[in-house]
Amino acid sequence: MLLHRLTTLAAAAAMTALLAMPSLAQTKKRIDKVADLPRFTYKIDGKLEDLVRDEAKFKPFAAQLRKDIDSVLAEYDIADKATERQLLATLVQLDWLEGRYDDAIKRSSQIRALEEKPSDKITSGMLLRAMDGARRKTGSTTSQAYVEETGRLLAAELKTMPYPTVANTIKEVNQGAELVGENLVLGQIREVLQPTVDKAGALSSDLAPAIVSSRYLLVTRLPLKQTLISTYGAYLAANKVDKPDIWAARDVALPPGRNYPPVNVAVWDSGVDTALFPGRVVMDGGKPAVIAFDLKSDPSTGELYPIPADLKSRIPQLKSTLKGLSDLQSNIDSPEASAVKQMLSTMKPDEYKKTIEEIGLAGNYIHGTHVAGITVAGNPYARLVTARIEFDHKLIPDPCPSRELTEKGAKAVQAYVDFMKKNNVRVANMSWGGSVKGYEQTLELCNIGKTADERKAIAREYFDIELAAFKRAIASAPDILFVTSAGNSNSDSTFVEAYPAGVVAPNMISVGAVDRAGDEASFTSYGPTVAVHANGYQVESVIPGGEKLAESGTSMSSPQVANLAAKILAVNPKLKPAEVIAIIRDTAEKTADGRRALVNPAKAVAAAEAKA
């Protein structure tokens, strides 16, 4: 199965994105799925790093990429605003790099008009506006006067912003400023894209924008690093106000000792340290009930994500790194945060691959246990069943997709669900996802398919096999409620054909993420299949070994709803999945902007009890 866990940290591509953040004459062709966008290919000779660093070598590549993006925007009506924003963002970066400053500001305004989340509407383009104002005043984009004026203008705009609305966004961009370093910026170019070019001699339009982002970061952001840290840091220090917590009043904990039946809950994830949940684990022959398949979709053993023998001694250090990343996201000044800033911003070129892959491995190792802790919190009647997946943490996929592997993965999906049925599971949480475009990009990194169109066809074939198997599997278990995370791509789950988030089924519910105040998370995906929203921002839970860690992602919001479903079934075990979903949806509170339906556990459990 080509799947990834849905948290917001640790993946190299996600880090790059975190750092890089920027009338019709005739009828346009409608694009309702991201897979229907046209594909382009760029032949590249030599080293990509030279292309990024050398303006003369960059120009012809940039001209062709611009031409293709312009053609897409001119000829197609794209249903998803996030995709349109991404295309425009690449043009903004090209405009600035080419000295087309007025065009950059104009397009930035277009992006701002397309923003959908309150914080994004306010903060979109703020740094670009400051850079342009400083350029106009100083007549330079490189002088010390320019750097200082950029900081001054940025600080002035920040002062006008409502802190409760923009707080999380500013913390995130500050985290990016703290971490950015030359070798972090160039790491994906050297370790992911260069091997792809070495094998194929070209890059697709899916991967090519990373070259632009890398050059843009080197030219515009690195010289401003200290100013950005100081400016964002000063704003955050002047507004040390915790956002209100709406969840404490909505929470409900079931009291022990009641005549409630146990509710078996499957955590379909990277594995669970069941020793942390004594008396709350479903047993199978005297051992915790566990089903597991490895990266090749072969049956596996063990309840935790496997750590290679040579890395086991580094588990404490890897946990410390994850805590440092979490603290940075929360703007917490800790020894772990300082260490991770130093490590990532000053790493040597030959350290990138090892460092990023180890962070990904550590994230996989802790993910399922963290999710399990959220799933059973406040419910002494919940009983855990472990359905363990292995997620690939390598920068270059290993193993690469194949028809055989896809078919084995499809069979594994049914085996997981059959195991859940055998163990009387009532609720299953799925904090993971994949997409047809994810398959395409993996095929490209693996040099499978001679052309972009051939990769498109192969990806569609493999994706459809796996998607059909998933639909059959959950249809075969009508008495299990499957709860899934919406995804972290800040886009429409149905437009990107996210799986399982985009699936419609009577026994499945998809969950988006908000923060402690109920404000929409910057990363959360959305769309018609996303039924409700729960806290997915810096949610604290346990990790293997028993330590506590705060994590963000729809991975954390989904188990909040799985938790709620298990509580509902404890107080009213006769309810069917569709009835549980109806109670959760009917008691959720719609926000004024219509974008969020905030779950209310206390009301939902009371409603379920009233129906008993």
Question: With contact defined as beta carbons under 8 Å apart, do 389 and 270 qualify?
Answer: yes
What integer pLDDT is reported at residue 242 of this predicted model? 85
Percent of the chain past pLDDT 90, that is, above it, reads: 93
> C-alpha distances in angstroms, 340 versus 37, 120, 198, 463, 496?
38, 27, 32, 37, 33
Beta bridge partners, 43, equal: 202
How far is 554 from 141, CA to CA, in rounded Å?
39
User: How far is residue 366's CA from residue 431's CA, in Å, rounded to a whole number?
Assistant: 13
User: For all residues of the chain together, what is the average pLDDT?
Assistant: 95
For residues 608 and 539, is the Cβ–Cβ distance under 8 A?
no
Q: Return d(Cα 476, Cα 459) in angstroms, integer.
A: 26
Q: Which residues pair with 264 in a beta bridge?
A: 383, 425
Residue 79 backbone class (left: φ over 0; alpha: ψ -120 to 50; beta: rest)? alpha
Whole-number Å distance between alpha carbons of 480 and 351: 45
The number of CA neighbours under 13 Å toward the Cβ of 437 is: 19
CA dihedral in degrees (427, 428, 430, 434; nearest 10)?
-110
Residue 330: band (very low, low, confident or very high) from pLDDT cuts 50, 70, 90: very high
Distance CA(279)–CA(260), nearest Å, equals 15
End-to-end CA distance of the chain: give it in Å, rounded.
Answer: 40
> What is the per-residue pLDDT for 16?
47
- Which residues, 6+ apart, have CB-to-CB distance to 436 below 8 Å? 35, 459, 460, 463, 497
pLDDT tens digits along 286-307: 999 999 999 999 999 999 999 9
CA atoms of 104 and 572, how far apart (whole Å)? 57
- The pLDDT of residue 8 is above 80: no
Residues shown for the chain: 612
pLDDT tens-digit profile of 20-67? 544 444 589 999 999 999 999 999 999 999 999 999 999 999 999 999
Q: Identify the pLDDT of residue 13.
A: 44
Residues 362-412 pLDDT 10s: 999 999 999 999 999 999 999 999 999 999 999 999 999 999 999 999 999
Residue 339, pLDDT > 90, answer yes
Q: What is the pLDDT of residues 159-177, one digit of tens each?
A: 999 999 999 999 999 999 9
Query: For residue range 542-593, what is the model confidence (pLDDT) as tens digits?
Result: 999 999 999 999 999 999 999 999 999 999 999 999 999 999 999 999 999 8
61-105 pLDDT, tens digit each: 999 999 999 999 999 999 999 999 999 999 999 999 999 999 999
Residue 125 pLDDT class (50, 70, 90 cuts): very high
- Overall average pLDDT of the 135-158 stretch: 98
Each domain of the chain, given as residue ranges in start order, spans: 4-238, 247-307+370-611
Question: Locate tokens 């019709």: which residue?
Answer: 24
Q: Single out the residue of 22, 383, 403 nearest to residue 176, CA to CA.
A: 22
User: For residue 530, what are the contacts with CB-CB under 8 A and spacing of at least 6?
Assistant: 486, 493, 501, 510, 511, 512
* Residue pair 305/311 in contact by the 8 Å Cβ criterion: no
C-alpha span between 366 and 203 (Å, rounded): 34
Q: Whole-angstrom Cα distance, residue 451 to residue 441?
A: 12
- Superfamily for 247-307+370-611? Peptidase S8/S53 domain (3.40.50.200)
